[in-house]
Every structure is written in structure tokens, then in C-alpha cells.
Amino acid sequence: MKFQDKKNILRWSVLLPVILLISVFYFFRTNVSSAGGNNKQDTLIIDQLGYRPYDVKIAFVRAVNPDSFVVKNAATNEIVFKGKPNNKIEFDRTTGDNLYPLNFSSLTRPGVYKISVPALSVTSYQFSIGSNVYNECAEKTIQSYYYQRCGTEISNGTKWAHPACHLKNAKFLVDPSKEMNTKGGWHDAGDYNKFVPTTAVSAAFLLYAYEDFPDFFYDGQLNIPESHNSIPDVLDEACFALEWLIKMQRGDGAVYHKVSIKNWTGEHLPDKETEEQYIFGISSTSTADVAAVAALGARLLEKYNKPLSVRLLKCAVDAWRFLQSNPEIIPQGGFKNPAGVEGGEYGDEIDSDERLWASIELFRLTGSEEYINYFLLNYQKVGGPNYTLSWKNTANFAYYSFLKLYPFPQGIDQQNNIKARAAILSNMNTYCNQLLERIELGGYRCVLNNDEYYWGSNSVVAGYAYDLTNLYRVTDQRKYFDAALDQLHYLLGRNTFGISFITGIGAAPVKHPYHQFSMLKYHDNPVPGLLVAGPNSFSRLNGKIISQMPGKCYEDFEKNYFVNEVAINYTAPLVYVASFFSQPLDNSISKKNSNDSNMETK
């Protein structure tokens, strides 16, 4: 061996370990979880929009005892609040995180702030304290439905624009020689199929938000073509879905289940669709969904759009007549994709909850005893409330609508209605008190059990918050209000990842959702207001386990549709909850905050 060769070997024997060490360091630096990053702000976890003046205000420090903390005016750096963490470490059972709560509830002065922990040399993102901190969340989530519109040009002056898509008639799957105009409605998720169950439930959340908080909504609130037509924009957006649902009704009142392609063929822009879209068969669940939401829409739109209200009334009654003539579920066993068809199915083996929802909304619209009698005969058979609302479980819509009847109209069976109200309220209390127990067990105060981190877990969080707000509205008990608000905090960044799960909202929002239009046209800057699915410990991309802890099974990776796809029915309950917390509430209740021990306010 030549001397030079020995010299080279010696040189590499020294350099190679150094190179490997540098490579390993670089790997871990650049390949940390894309969900949360690797910076000090991940240690100090806040709601990235902020807090209302008289609500409980809690941030978390993860893993390390902060000893003390201060809140500073973001503009002047002036210390406005000094505090110490609760001595009790909060263990989060779904993520394995140890947390130190920082309670600064007695700071009520509106402004823009940041939290600093001197011992850790860490400072939070800026956040606001103000009465309207959640308005942005409410308005952007509603606005997101405009960008999901199908069959029309998307062009409102923002960058998220595209030509009209899916303009061709769709063919009937059972007889492709026949076709029908199915233009309109909302793309269901990250792709471009359209489903009646998810559209109906999503439109209902928008409509209920308007019904329950009408003072929050107004014409010109959003940036949509219908703005400034003397109709609140949230109703205009719901109408876009309702018009499509009317199209999906057959002449005998039954409703087709979905419009979709047969097989997934890859990502593309909405106006570049090359696959044929098909109309699938009817289902009794879709028919009942449409009966319910059409009746709801007809009632709320009567003073704004009488012609559409009349059409919706006919749609709802015709759907109900079909259901009454066909008391068994259609198709038998619930809707299933035919052989050779892939993609979303939204099959549901039970339609009693959808029928119950339809009955109460038709009663509220028409006052006919036929509908209230059906409700009173069947509400106990359906059972509940005992789980949150989804496209598959609409019973809570029915219960909460029934509770709005009180005091009961004259001329109906008062005794049976009083009995039903008492039974439903009793079930609601039992159900929501169980949710409170779960929240107390979770360090992040997230309501989910370990086994609820499945596909769409964030929508389950929002759904539980919807339930809690409805019980608060009936009982005025602050504990339900605070518990619902904890769930909004979780979605807005007070979670193990330190990110906002809603695109375009907060200092560190999700940036890479599975949303084909955003992926292909505006990478890193997706359509705002979309709630992603969230942690999912059951479905794994390419078999890869993200984490052994269910609450940490998430990554902000656009190809992982198991955790990062968006969907209209995910965002819908969040619209309602964010709208609820955008309402001015009675400060006499709001000021009853939890203990602010070890705190001083400057």
C-alpha cells in the first residue's frame, strides 16, 4: 500500500465519524414531526387567536416546570401580568405529555399580548384578548364553503380561484344512457365527489348557527358573489347547497345518495376532471336528511327568499311522504358502493335518527300534528343524546330542535311534550357530565378518549363542543360553556403539536392539508378556514405508525389523507361553535372565572 493511500485512509478514518455525526444531527433537525416543528414556542402552548376578556385563560408549558411567567404587551413589551403555574402537574393520557397550566384569567384588558417564561427563555406567539377574537375563525370557516363550490367559477378577488368545474351532466350508474344535471353543491372533501348526507348535515350546521345567533350574521359579511343582496351571507352559502339537494330528489320524493366518479385516479384541479361522474341509487337516510334540512331551510328562508322557501317545503313534504310509504331502510342494510366502485360510501345501516330529525323540523315548519306525534312516538326508541352528531348520527339535531319548542305551542299534547322534554334534558345532562369527566382527565382538556382518535377526530372534538354549547344554552351552567371553549382552544393551537388545525387561522396553522386544489395550485398557502381530520391512530399511511400515543398520531403532510384531509362535515360543527363564541354573552356569568391563585395583575 502506498504512503498516499495510507494517508487517505487515515484522513477518512478521522473525517467519516465527523461527517456521520453531522449527518445525524442534520437529519434530526430537519425531520422532526412536521406537525409541530422543533422550536421553543412548542413548549409554551396557547390558543393562537386568543381569549375573550371574561373567559378562563389558560396556556400550558410542556415537560419543564416554568417556575413563573409573565404576560407582556406585544407592542410595548410592558409586563401587564405576573403569575406562577399551578403546582399540580397535569398528565395528558392521550399524548403522554406532562403539562404545567398557566392561568391568567384575571387579565381582562383587551389588547395583543405574548407570554414569556424567563427560566426557559421562551416566549409564546402573539395572541389577543378581546370580545371578537373568534370572529375570524367563524367567518373564515363559513367562507371556506365558497371555495368548495362545484359547477361555478370561483373568483372573488383572492388567489384561490379556478374556472367552473364539473359542468357536464352526470350519468346514472344503473343506466349510463340516462343523465341528469347535478351541477352545484359543495365538493365533499379534498377531492371532488358530492354526497347528500355530508352536504345536508353541513348545511344544517350553517342554518342552525344562523337560527341560534342571528345577530352575528349579516349581508356582506363574507366575500361571495351573493354578498349585498339583502340576505345574510351564511344563508346564501347554505342556499347553494340546498339548491343542489333539491336537484338530487327523484319525482317520487326519494333522494339519490351521491354523485361521484367510480375510481380515484390521482390529484388534479377541479376544472381538469376527466373521469365520468355518476349518480348513485337512492337511500332512505339521504331522503330523510333532505326532508329535515329542506324543512329547516324553508322556515329560515321564508322572509328572505319566498320562492326557494316554497320549493324547499315541497321537497321536504315529498321526501317525508316517500319515507312514510317505505318504513324500512332503503336499500336493505344501508347504502353500499356497488362492486368495482371505490371511494366514499357514507353507508348507514340505521335511518331512525334521520327520520326523527325530519319529523321535528317538519313540525316546526308546518305545525302539523302528524310530525310531532311521530317524534313523540319514536324519540325514546332512537335513544339519546348519548353520542355526538355526525353525518351518520343526526339524532342530536332532532333533540335540540325539539327543546327549542318550549314553551309548547297551543293545541298539541302538552303532557307528553313536557315528559319528552324532561327525558331528553335528563339524558343530555348525563351525557354531557360524562364529557366533563373526560375533560378533567386530559391535560390539554380535550374531550376525546384514547379510542376516539380515528378518522376525523377533530370533527368529533367540534361535535362534542356543539353538544356542550347546546346544554349550556338550556341550563346556563358555566361548566358546559367552559368545557366547550376548551375544545375550541384545542383546535386553535392548545394541543400537543402547538398548531392550529384550521388552515389560515393562527400564528402556526396547518399548511399542507390533503386538499387537491390547494396542493396543486397554492402549496404552503391553502384555502383558509378548512378543518383537517386530526390525529388518527387506527389508519396508517403505508403502514407507518406515527406515534404509539393516539393523541400524537398526526403529521402535517399533504399525502397523508388519513390525518390531514379536509371535509365539509369536519368544518361544519366548528362553524357553529366558533359562531357561538363570537356572540356577546352575559358578563355576570362570564366573570365567574376559576381560581386565579398565585397571580398578580399590573
pLDDT tens readout for residues 454-465? 999 999 999 999
pLDDT score, position 148: 98
What is the C-alpha separation between 430 and 426, in angstroms, rounded?
6
pLDDT score, position 584: 72
What is the C-alpha separation between 520 and 267, in angstroms, rounded?
8
Side-chain half-sphere exposure of 66, counting CA atoms within 13 A: 29
pLDDT score, position 4: 37
The three three-digit cell numbers of residue 433, written as one number:
357530565
Burial class (CB in 10 A: 0-12, 13-18, 19+), 63: exposed
Instruction: Tell me the per-residue pLDDT of 476-519, one tens digit each, with 9 for 90 and over.
Output: 999 999 999 999 999 999 999 999 999 999 999 999 999 999 99
Q: Is pLDDT above 50 for 600?
A: no
Supply the DSSP symbol for 256: B
pLDDT band at 88 (very low <50, low <70, confident <90, very high): confident
- Please compute the mean of the pLDDT values over residues 53-74 and round it to a whole number: 95
Contact 137, 502 (CB under 8 A): yes
Report H helices in 156-271.
Answer: 196-212, 233-247
Contact 304, 196 (CB under 8 A): no
b vs e for 346-376, b when ≥16 Cβ sit within 10 Å of the residue's Cβ? Answer: bbbeebbbbbbbbbbbbbbbbeeeebbebbb
Residue 138 to residues 217, 231, 270, 446: CA-CA distances in angstroms? 10, 18, 26, 20
Q: Is the domain of 424 the same as that of 452? A: yes
Q: Minimal CA–CA distance to 483: which of 452, 438, 453?
A: 438
Q: Minimal CA–CA distance to 241: which of 323, 162, 315?
A: 315
pLDDT score, position 117: 96
Q: Given CA atoms 420, 423, 429, 434 in this order, what sign does their dihedral have?
A: negative
- Please compute the mean of the pLDDT values over residues 211-232 and round it to a whole number: 98
CB atoms within 10 A of CB 461: 28
Q: Is the domain of 127 the same as that of 153? A: no
Q: Is the domain of 24 the same as that of 44? A: no
Which domain-ending residue is among 98, 131, 164?
Answer: 131
pLDDT band at 137 (very low <50, low <70, confident <90, very high): very high
What is the C-alpha separation between 541 and 147, in angstroms, rounded?
27
Residue 433 lies in a domain: yes
601 strand-pairing partners: 81
What is the C-alpha separation between 338 and 278, in angstroms, rounded?
12
For cell 411567567, name the residue: 69
Q: Is the domain of 16 the same as that of 79? A: no
Domain around 68 = 40-131
Burial class (CB in 10 A: 0-12, 13-18, 19+), 95: buried
- Please compute the mean of the pLDDT values over residues 430-448 and round it to a whole number: 96
Residue 598 lies in a domain: no
Which distant-in-sequence residues (6+ apart) come within 8 Å of 298 by Cβ? 309, 310, 312, 313, 316, 365
Residue 601 lies in a domain: no
Q: Is pLDDT above 80 for 155?
A: yes
Distance from first CA to last CA of the chain, Å, rounded?
77
CB atoms within 10 A of CB 311: 18
Q: Is pLDDT above 70 for 350?
A: yes
CATH of the domain at 546: 1.50.10.10
Q: Given CA atoms 261, 265, 270, 271 in this order, what sign does their dihedral have?
A: negative
Q: Is the domain of 437 the same as that of 563? A: yes
Supply the DSSP symbol for 42: G
Structure-model confidence comparison of residues 15 and 442, the more confident one: 442
Residue 252 lies in a domain: yes
Q: Is pLDDT above 80 for 180?
A: yes
Instruction: Tell me the per-residue pLDDT of 12-41, one tens digit each, with 9 for 90 and over.
Output: 344 444 333 333 333 333 333 345 444 555
Q: Is the domain of 123 the same as that of 243? A: no
Q: Is the domain of 109 the same as that of 158? A: no
Task: Kindly list the strands in the beta sheet with 90-91, ordered across the sheet, starting from the edge strand earlier in the chain.
Answer: 44-45, 58-62, 98-103, 90-91
Which domain-ending residue is among 113, 131, 149?
Answer: 131
Q: Is the domain of 244 the same as that of 324? A: yes
Residue 570 lies in a domain: yes
Which domain-ending residue is among 97, 131, 165?
Answer: 131
Structure-model confidence comparison of residues 33 and 375, the more confident one: 375
Residue 54 lies in a domain: yes
What is the C-alpha separation between 551 and 556, in angstroms, rounded?
14
What is the C-alpha separation between 26 and 24, in angstroms, rounded?
5
Residues in the chain: 602
What is the C-alpha separation between 452 and 240, in angstroms, rounded?
32
Contact 496, 96 (CB under 8 A): no
Domain count across the chain: 3
Q: What is the rounded average pLDDT for all residues in the chain?
A: 91
Task: Kindly list the strands in the beta sheet with 194-195, ordered across the sheet, starting from the edge strand earlier in the chain.
Answer: 175-180, 170-172, 278-279, 258-260, 194-195
Q: Is the domain of 110 the same as that of 179? A: no
Residue 590 lies in a domain: no
Q: Is the domain of 58 the same as that of 175? A: no
Instruction: Tell me the per-residue pLDDT of 310-336, one tens digit each, with 9 for 90 and over.
Output: 999 999 999 999 999 999 999 999 999
Residue 407 to residues 358, 469, 517, 531, 564: CA-CA distances in angstroms? 21, 20, 48, 37, 44
Residue 599 lies in a domain: no
Structure-model confidence comparison of residues 285 and 591, the more confident one: 285
Q: Is the domain of 158 the same as that of 20? A: no
Q: Minimal CA–CA distance to 104: which of 96, 95, 115, 112?
A: 115
pLDDT score, position 35: 58
What is the C-alpha separation between 426 and 350, in angstroms, rounded?
24
What is the C-alpha separation between 82 and 601, in angstroms, rounded?
6
Rounded to 10 deg, the angle between the 414-441 and 478-491 helix axes is 50
- Please compute the mean of the pLDDT values over residues 34-50 and round it to a whole number: 73
Instruction: Tell me the per-residue pLDDT of 240-293, one tens digit each, with 9 for 90 and over.
Output: 999 999 999 999 999 999 999 999 889 999 999 999 999 999 999 999 999 999
Instruction: Tell me the per-residue pLDDT of 512-557, one tens digit each, with 9 for 90 and over.
Output: 999 999 999 988 899 999 999 999 999 889 989 999 999 999 999 9
Q: Is pLDDT above 80 for 294?
A: yes
CATH of the domain at 114: 2.60.40.10
For cell 356543539, name the residue: 466
Report H helices in 404-456.
Answer: 414-441
Q: Is the domain of 145 the same as that of 120? A: no
The three three-digit cell numbers of residue 557, written as one number:
403532510
pLDDT score, position 21: 39
Instruction: Tell me the per-residue pLDDT of 400-426, one tens digit each, with 9 for 90 and over.
Output: 999 999 888 887 889 999 999 999 999
DSSP per residue, 77-128: --EEEEE---SSPEE-TTT--EEEEEE-TT----EEEEEEEGGGTEEPPPEE
Structure-model confidence comparison of residues 7 and 207, the more confident one: 207
b vs e for 226-256, b when ≥16 Cβ sit within 10 Å of the residue's Cβ? Answer: bbeeebbbbbbbbbbbbbbbbbbbeeebbbb
- Please compute the mean of the pLDDT values over residues 568-589 and round it to a whole number: 85
Q: Is pLDDT above 90 for 1?
A: no
